[in-house]
Amino acid sequence: MNAGNDYGRDGIVGIGTPQANPTVEAEMAILLPPTILRITTRLTSRAEASEDRLRDYIEQLEPALASFDTLRPQVFGFACTAASYLMAPGREAAIVAAAEARYDYPVITAAAAIAWKLHALGARRIALVSPYPAALGQAAITYWQGQGFAPVAVANAAISGTDTRGIYALGSADARASLADLGAVSADVILITGTGMPSLSLIADPPPGTPPILSSNLALAEALLASLGQPLPDWRARYRAAIQGPLS
């Protein structure tokens, strides 16, 4: 409970989004109920190379949290999946543990949220819809194999060049087209990896016969709510209102 503020009676959630990402805040506004106060910080880096920039986002986690000053969320969501794919074994866990010890609230990464949800679903065989360049896409496969899951198929949403900021030009139609490229895949879950490509349209209205679809933002939202002892509400009406506007 958040008794000291007019807003967010059911909790305060902090969210870190990559600096040019236009999707995280929009989808979290749909996925999290309006009784949750969302506070956002930008994950920043001056690195030119995408992989260096992504690593900076997690390496600079504590300065990102410091940007909240005296405002303290009850939980923080790190909304950048690709950064986790690039970290050396144990490094991310150490960064998260240090941040939690300093600020005294839990930090949940998008990748950790996905793993939590996959385990909850009893899923092992996963198909990936990936907007990443080839090297980062391979890092994602290796990461999920290391987490004990079996990536059985991958479909790529094409971006221009190798700069991952190109992901932010993709739309939900690209996610849907990439899902179609998978064909009749035998998987427990289809994972749309990455927080930058919009995917709620696809999740809200999947093609018939599609396995359950999980995205980075969906998993993170559910994990953040679970940390507050709350379930993920039905968000589809808010999605329709965000896309279509109020009915006249």
pLDDT tens digits, 121-170: 999 999 999 999 999 999 999 999 999 999 999 999 889 888 999 999 99
- With a CB cutoff of 8 Å and minimum separation 6, the contacts of 109 are 58, 77, 78, 80, 81, 83, 84, 92, 96
pLDDT digits (tens, 9 = 90+) for 121-131: 999 999 999 99
Confidence (pLDDT) at 5: 77
Q: Are 114 and 144 in contact (CB under 8 A)?
A: no
Confidence (pLDDT) at 73: 98
Confidence (pLDDT) at 3: 57
What CATH number was assigned to the domain covering residues 12-110+220-244?
A: 3.40.50.12500
Domain 113-215 -> CATH class: alpha beta
Using left for φ > 0, alpha for ψ between -120 and 50, and beta otherwise, residue 246 falls in: beta
The sheet carrying 12-18 orders its strands as 37-43, 12-18, 75-78, 107-109
Tell me how crowded residue 137 is: count the other CB atoms within 10 A of its CB. Answer: 18
CA dist., res. 215 & res. 90, Å (int):
24
Confidence (pLDDT) at 246: 61
The reply to whether 12-110+220-244 and 113-215 are identical in fold is yes
Measured at the CA of 154, the angle between CA 50 and CA 133, to 5 degrees, comes to 20
pTM score above 0.85: yes
Confidence (pLDDT) at 132: 96
Place of tokens 């009850």: 74
Q: Are 85 and 77 in contact (CB under 8 A)?
A: no
Average pLDDT per block of 10 residues along the chain, 248 residues long: 78 98 98 97 97 98 97 98 96 98 98 98 97 95 98 91 93 93 92 97 94 97 98 94 71
Q: Where are the domains of the chain?
A: 12-110+220-244, 113-215
